């Protein structure tokens, strides 16, 4: 067997397996085929052919390594995208989800500091997902982050970071797009977000509490597919709050309700009274989530998700925060 | 084709929105001398609470100091410029902290008589026979309870303060009509402040009823007079026992911040007299901020007033002004404490005689 016939044979087996027709690509060649291929002249020819094919891209030297690092993931992704097949519509599915992951949080808050803070946090997530015959997505998700942050001016972490978000969304399928491969869901979501940045080196203004309750339009693009005869489901979900009740620290100093009695002994009521109803002109938040679910044989699923979240609120002083969050978890069917 | 382009556009838009916060979230100032100077001046300008009370022209402070700053100048030179700028505020709650120095203005006590010498108290009044309960040193002197509290930074429990006020409760033994305690002296001289939650706990043992004792105002905008409406603050009786006998609080110019609050609140109670010198002041809660080079600083950002509306930033005047005399100083006597002992004796005698 020469090089060309070997490559043709491999290519046939690969495409055939991905289309579900014949044996998968990792099915071994016969002993005779391999022996005949691995004859020394063929190996030299293989090297020559590869060198010829890659010569426009790789010219030798350090630049090649950079190119390999850059292009290899792209080629891998392209390979995966080209390899996948759209799958059948989803069944009815109910799951209880748990997961853990990592968050890269950042913030800038004029009411606390003129510096930008960045850090690392540990995340735990939980939730219930109800999906009805590919027509309804009914999701309740919660996420808690704890971590430490510092400004670049400081050598040590001096802000403790706490974040809790509960997000309920209900979306119905609007239509299928991209030749029925992609399912487009639209609906609404209700989000509550609490963030606490605790400045260890501060005294009376050490606790920077924020609380946001938002109503948002939400949308999802769902792409069920098969890869290597395994079932997967990819989803892109996003929401953009239009109406938000936002509670932020007062202009300069955190209120100290613990010192003496205030005129009113109703700290919870006072906390909510300090909030404001706001909309896109002053409060902008956008959340993107990409998730990939892998179907296990026992109807449970593994889920890998990545979320990018950005928030900007200009009252009483500008605050901006963002986070990158990656979580891996299990969806227990029930 | 049109559809494909639309979907491709939507897809690219979604992908582009990931990880683009770097374009929006940035430090407000750079780490150079001019930006550091501007950062501090602006932050203080928008947040400090006593410009008008102290008659400070902050713009003039900028004009005077800005020409002294240029990028690339030495760190200690920049520190000195910033320290000079903050010194103008004449506020013990204002400090700039770098790794090598702490700027301050402590004229609030350095320009006044000290009116306290703990050595005299320890050797001639507490002597060997006193108790140390938590942060309090105390004993009975001439049937009057004497409690010395050095710093409101030293925490104590509810049970400790209950123990103290119960121990020195003004009362007569009912079995043999012998006098046990006439009253109580609380000495907070040289107490530079600390945690106001300790103030809260201590005053609650002397509150005869829920009583309006002071008002707080918070900054709510960048203008020098942008404050919230005054928020009334109340002291309320708490704990196992409320002390209702005669009480004298001893104060001097070194009473600052939380101690200033304590003295002012105690003045509201009918059985309490403040004796000695005015307190040093410190009527605003300080907040902390940072500079782009990692230095930190703090300054006052609230206003506290009495029930009558007087600002307590510059101190609380005593009910009875007493200074330690030179003769007493030489003789190892504490004039203020002696006056307090005498006053409580008189008040107690008047109560006994009046009652009889």
DSSP A124-156: EEEEEEEEETTTEEEEEEEEEEEEEEEETT-SS
Q: Which of A83-97, A123-137, A168-182, A307-321 has the lowest mean pLDDT?
A: A83-97
Interface of A with B in 16-75 (CB under 8 A): none
- State residue A213's pLDDT score: 95
Flag if B19 and A308 touch (Cβ within 8 Å): yes
The CATH number linked to B126 is: 3.90.226.10
Domain presence at residue B101 = yes
pLDDT at A65: 62
Contacts of B265 in chain A (CB under 8 A): 260
pTM of the predicted model, to two decimals? 0.79
Residue A130 sits at φ, ψ, to 5 deg, of -120, 125
Nearest CA in chain A to B198: A259
> What chain A residue is nearest to B36 in terms of C-alpha separation?
A114
Given a cut of 60, whether residue B183 has pLDDT beyond it is yes
If asked whether residues B165 and B308 sit together in one domain, one would say yes
Confidence of residue A114 (pLDDT cuts 50, 70, 90): confident
Q: How far is B21 from chain A (nearest CA, A)?
A: 7
* Percent of chain A whose predicted confidence (pLDDT) is above 70: 67
Say if residue B58 is in the same domain as residue B176: no
A321–B25 CB contact, under 8 Å: yes
pLDDT computed for residue B239 by the predictor: 86
**Mean pLDDT over the full length of chain B:** 90
The answer to whether residue A261 neighbours chain B at the CB level (below 8 Å) is: yes
Chain A nearest CA to B199, separation (Å): 8
Alpha-carbon dihedral sign for residues A264, A267, A273, A275: positive
Q: How confident is the model at residue A20 (pLDDT cuts 50, 70, 90)?
A: very low
Check CB contact under 8 Å for A320 and B291. no
Place of tokens 């901006």: A320
- Mean pLDDT within B139-168: 93
Query: Given pLDDT bands bounded at 50, 70 and 90, which one contains residue A329?
Result: very high
Q: What is the mean pLDDT of residues A86-110?
A: 83
Give, in degrees to the nearest 5, the angle at Cα A295 between A294 and A300: 115
Confidence of residue B129 (pLDDT cuts 50, 70, 90): confident
In Å, the largest CA–CA distance within chain B is 108
In a domain, B128, yes or no: yes
Query: B276 — alpha (psi -120 to 50), left (phi > 0) or beta?
Result: left
Quick check: A217 pLDDT over 90? yes
Asked if residues B287 and B299 have their Cβ atoms less than 8 Å apart, the reply is yes
Classify domain A90-333 at the CATH superfamily level: OMPT-like (2.40.128.90)
pLDDT (tens digit per residue) in B293-348: 989 999 999 999 999 999 999 999 999 999 999 999 999 999 999 999 999 999 88
Residue B85: which CATH number?
Answer: 3.30.750.44
Residue B255 lies inside a defined structural domain of this protein: yes
Q: Are residues B275 and B343 in the same domain?
A: yes
Q: Say yes or no to pLDDT of A45 above 70.
A: no
Chain-chain contact of A202 with B28 (C-beta, under 8 angstroms): no
Of the three residues B110, B131, B146, the one that is the final residue of a domain is B110
pLDDT of residue B356: 46
C-alpha A125/C-alpha A123 separation (Å) is 7
pLDDT digits (tens, 9 = 90+) for B232-269: 999 999 988 889 889 999 999 999 999 999 999 999 99
**Interface residue of B288, B298, B299, B304 to substitute, partner A, most A CBs within 10 Å:** B288
Q: Using CB atoms, which residue from A112, A252, A324 is nearest to B301?
A: A252
The CB density around residue A47, as the number of other CB atoms within 10 Å, is 10
Same domain, B57 and B164: no
Cβ neighbours of B214 in A, within 8 Å: 260
Residue B79 is assigned to a structural domain of this protein: yes
Same-domain status, B184 and B152: yes
**Domain end: B110, B127, B146, which one?**
B110
Which residue, B288, B295, B234, is CA-closest to B265?
Answer: B234
Residue A262 to residue B7, Cβ atoms within 8 A: no
- On the question of pLDDT at A24 being above 50, the answer is no
Q: Where are the domains of chain A?
A: 3-85, 90-333
pLDDT of residue A77: 58
B295 shares a domain with B242: yes
Nearest alpha carbon to residue A308 among A108, A15, A103, A156: A103
Residues from chain A contacting residue B16 (CB–CB below 8 Å): none
A249 or A195, which is more confident?
A: A195
Of chain A residues 195-214, which have a CB less than 8 A from chain B?
199, 201-206
Mark whether B206 and B350 lie in a shared domain: yes
Q: Please, which pLDDT band fits residue A25 given cuts at 50, 70 and 90? A: very low
- Is residue B19 a part of any domain in this protein? no
Average pLDDT over residues B268-286: 95
A27 pLDDT tier (thresholds 50, 70, 90):
very low
Is the residue at B2 inside a domain? no
Q: How many CA atoms lie within 13 A of B139 on its CB side?
A: 13
In this predicted model, which residue has the larger pLDDT, B244 or B59? Answer: B59
- Say whether pLDDT at B273 is over 90: yes
A261 closest CB neighbour out of B31, B236, B291: B236
In terms of CA atoms, which chain A residue is nearest residue B222?
A251
pLDDT band at A16 (very low <50, low <70, confident <90, very high): very low
Whether B296 sits inside 8 A of A201 (CB atoms) is yes
Residues B91 and B219 in one domain: no
Asked which of A30-39, A145-154, B149-158, B265-274 is least confident by mean pLDDT, the reply is: A30-39
Q: What is the reported pLDDT for A310?
A: 93
Q: Which residue of A has its CA nearest to B15?
A: A288
Do B34 and B151 fall into the same domain?
no
CB contact under 8 A, A203 and B286: yes
Gap between the Cα atoms of A222 and A180, Å rounded: 11
- Separation between Cα atoms, residue A271 and residue A258, nearest integer Å: 13
CA atoms of B134 and B145, how far apart (whole Å) = 16
Asked whether residue B61 falls in the same domain as residue B195, the answer is no
Q: How many domains would you assign to chain B?
A: 2
B54 min Cα distance to partner chain A (Å): 20
- B18: Cα separation from own chain's centroid: 48
For A105, name the nearest residue in chain B, comparing CA atoms only. B21
> Is a pLDDT exceeding 60 seen at residue B203?
yes
In which element (H, E) is residue A210 found?
A: strand A207-227
For residue A28, the model assigns a pLDDT of 44
Question: Looking at the complex, does the CB of residue A263 fall below 8 Å from at least one CB of chain B?
Answer: yes
pLDDT digits over A219-254, tens only? 999 999 888 888 899 999 999 999 999 988 877 666
Let me know whether B153 and B226 are in one domain: yes
- Residues B218-232 have a mean pLDDT of 91
Q: Between chain A and chain B, how many beta carbons pairs sit less than 8 Å apart? A: 138
pLDDT, position B251: 97
**Average pLDDT value for residue range B111-130:** 92
Q: Do A108 and B25 touch (CB under 8 A)?
A: yes
Instruction: Please give the pLDDT value at position A266.
Output: 66
Chain B residues touching A113 at Cβ < 8 A: 289-290
- Is the model's pLDDT at A35 over the cut of 70? no
With respect to residue B325, please indicate whether it lies within any of the assigned structural domains: yes
Higher pLDDT pick, A255 / A276: A276
Contact B290 A151 (CB under 8 A): yes
- Indicate whether A116 pLDDT > 60: yes
> Which residues, in sequence order, are bridge partners of residue B12?
none
Question: Does B74 share its domain with B137?
Answer: no
A115 touches chain B (CB under 8 A): yes
For residue A308, which residues of chain B lie inside 8 Å, CB to CB?
17-19, 21
Query: Which residues of chain A neighbour B286 with C-beta distances below 8 Å?
Result: 203-204
State the average pLDDT over residues A13-31: 43
Mark which residues 281-310 of A lie under 8 Å from B by CB: 286, 288, 306, 308, 310
Whether B293 maps to a domain, the answer reads yes
Q: Please give the residue range of the domain that contains residue B41.
A: 27-110
End of a domain among B75, B110, B145? Answer: B110
pLDDT at A14 over 50: no
Helix (H) or strand (E) holding A226: strand A207-227
Task: Give the closest of B26, B29, B286 to A204, CB-based.
Answer: B286
């Amino acid at each position: 067997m020469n090089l060309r016939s070997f490559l043709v044979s491999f290519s046939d087996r690969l495409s055939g397996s991905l289309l579900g027709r014949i044996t998968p690509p990792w099915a071994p060649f016969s002993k005779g085929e391999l022996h005949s291929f691995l004859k020394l002249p063929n190996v030299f020819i293989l090297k020559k052919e590869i060198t010829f094919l890659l010569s426009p891209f790789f010219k030798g030297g350090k630049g090649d390594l950079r190119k390999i690092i850059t292009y290899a993931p792209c080629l891998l992704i392209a390979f995966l995208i080209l390899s996948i097949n759209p799958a059948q519509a989803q069944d009815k599915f109910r799951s209880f989800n748990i997961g853990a992951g990592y968050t890269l949080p950042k913030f800038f808050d004029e009411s606390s500091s003129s510096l930008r803070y960045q850090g690392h946090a540990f995340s735990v997530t939980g939730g219930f997902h109800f999906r009805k015959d590919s027509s309804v997505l009914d999701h309740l998700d919660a996420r808690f982050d704890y971590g430490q942050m510092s400004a670049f001016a400081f050598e040590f972490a001096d802000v403790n970071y706490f974040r809790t978000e509960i997000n309920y969304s209900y979306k119905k399928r609007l239509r299928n797009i991209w030749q029925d491969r992609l399912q487009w869901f639209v609906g609404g979501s209700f989000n509550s977000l609490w963030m606490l940045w605790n400045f260890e080196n501060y005294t009376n203004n050490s606790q920077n509490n924020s609380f946001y309750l938002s109503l948002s339009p939400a949308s999802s693009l769902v792409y069920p597919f098969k890869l290597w005869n395994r079932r997967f489901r990819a989803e892109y979900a996003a929401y953009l709050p239009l109406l938000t009740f936002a509670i932020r620290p007062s202009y300069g100093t955190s209120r100290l309700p613990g010192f003496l009695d205030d005129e009113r002994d109703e700290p919870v009521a006072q906390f909510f009274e300090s909030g404001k109803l706001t909309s896109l002109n002053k409060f902008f938040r956008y959340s993107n989530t990409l998730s990939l679910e892998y179907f296990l044989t026992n109807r449970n699923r593994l889920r890998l998700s990545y979320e990018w979240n950005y928030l900007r609120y200009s009252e009483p002083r500008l605050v901006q925060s963002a986070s990158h969050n990656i979580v891996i978890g299990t969806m227990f069917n029930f | 084709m049109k559809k494909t382009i639309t979907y491709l556009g939507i897809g690219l838009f979604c992908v582009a929105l990931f990880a683009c916060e770097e374009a929006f979230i940035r430090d407000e100032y750079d780490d150079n001398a001019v930006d550091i100077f501007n950062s501090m001046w602006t932050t203080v300008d928008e947040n400090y609470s006593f410009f008008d009370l102290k008659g400070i022209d902050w713009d003039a402070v900028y004009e005077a100091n800005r020409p002294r700053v240029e990028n690339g100048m030495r760190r200690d030179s920049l520190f000195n410029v910033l320290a000079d700028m903050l010194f103008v505020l004449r506020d013990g709650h204002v400090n700039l902290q770098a790794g090598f120095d702490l700027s301050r203005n402590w004229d609030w006590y350095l320009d006044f008589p000290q009116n306290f010498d703990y050595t005299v108290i320890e050797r001639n009044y507490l002597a060997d026979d006193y108790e140390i309960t938590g942060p309090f040193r105390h004993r009975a002197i001439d049937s009057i309870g004497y409690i010395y509290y050095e710093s409101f930074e030293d925490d104590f429990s509810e049970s400790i303060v209950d123990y103290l006020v119960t121990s020195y409760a003004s009362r007569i033994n009912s079995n043999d009509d012998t006098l046990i305690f006439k009253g109580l002296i609380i000495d907070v001289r040289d107490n530079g402040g600390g945690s106001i939650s300790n103030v809260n706990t201590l005053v609650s043992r002397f509150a005869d009823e829920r009583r309006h004792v002071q008002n707080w105002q918070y900054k709510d905008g960048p203008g020098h007079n942008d404050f919230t409406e005054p928020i009334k603050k109340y002291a309320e009786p708490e704990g196992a026992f409320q002390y209702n006998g005669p009480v004298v609080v001893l104060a001097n110019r070194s009473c600052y911040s939380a101690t200033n609050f304590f003295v002012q609140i105690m003045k509201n109670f009918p059985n309490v007299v403040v004796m000695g010198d005015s307190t040093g002041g410190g009527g605003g809660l300080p907040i902390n901020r940072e500079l782009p080079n990692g230095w930190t600083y703090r300054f006052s950002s609230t206003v506290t007033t009495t029930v009558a509306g007087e600002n307590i930033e510059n101190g609380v005047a005593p009910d009875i002004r007493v200074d330690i005399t030179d003769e007493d100083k030489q003789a190892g006597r504490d004039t203020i404490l002696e006056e307090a002992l005498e006053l409580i004796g008189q008040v107690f005698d008047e109560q006994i005689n009046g009652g009889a």
